[in-house]
Amino acid sequence: MVEPVATTVFLASRNAKKLAEMERILREHAPEVEVVGLDDVPAYDEPVEDQPTFEGNALLKARAGAAATGLPSLADDSGLCVDALNGMPGVLSARWSGKPKDDARNNRLLLEQLEDVPDERRAAHFACAVAFVHPDGTELVVHGRMDGRVIREVRGSGGFGYDVLFVADEHAAEGLTSAELDPAAKDAISHRGRALREIAPLVARALA
């Protein structure tokens, strides 16, 4: 019997937690898959994320990754959309407080901006677009969303970005932030988890 061949997929990211999350979910559909990131491939000119939508930025990064590495490439763009801030920070989430990107500084700024907003008006959602580009020209994009609210203090040590400030609707009763959930519990409800579960079988099919 022929053993399945490990398939390498490139994810346009240096975020170790994001790489692990991507590989964890993809392996449910393609057990032999290996996900490599930007630090695992020769350096190339990464595109400026200047698109006005999550989908546009995700496609921009996935196309650049496929062209530079020759590998089937995934990229995501995601962010926190706060009702009281008219949907911002949105696509600017990672650089909300300016360059260089700094999660702690972004979180401090968001808390300052929402300081006078009452609890009942702190609704928000995480949005995500995941793009897959295969060197053969195949392109796929899926979307995910997680609704919840922004709390008033940083809590938890897991996750990344605004996870320490966000309580999803599914965990409103116990008040756990996304950063306080174990990886499996977060994957089950997160915007990225939902998008990845939708795209994973499509990627597995494209790899086959």
**Calpha distance 17→15 (Å, rounded):** 6
Token pair 């959602």 in the structure block, residue: 125
Other CB atoms within 10 Å distance of the CB of residue 157: 9
The response to whether 162 counts as a known ligand-binding position is yes
Judge whether 40 counts as a catalytic residue.
no
The response to whether 178 counts as a known ligand-binding position is no
The response to whether 29 counts as a known ligand-binding position is no
76, two tokens: 């995501």
The response to whether 17 counts as a known ligand-binding position is yes
The response to whether 90 counts as a known ligand-binding position is no
The response to whether 61 counts as a known ligand-binding position is no
98 phi/psi in degrees, rounded to 5: 100, 180
CB 198 within 8 A of CB 179: no
Catalytic position from the list 39, 50, 77, 116: 77
The response to whether 54 counts as a known ligand-binding position is no
Contacts of 57 (CB under 8 A, 6+ apart): 49, 50, 51, 75, 77, 91, 129
The response to whether 173 counts as a known ligand-binding position is no
The response to whether 50 counts as a known ligand-binding position is no
Which residues participate in the annotated binding site for Mg(2+)?
77
Which residues participate in the annotated binding site?
13-18, 77-78, 160-163, 186, 191-192
Which residues participate in the annotated binding site for substrate?
13-18, 78, 160-163, 186, 191-192
Active site residues: 77
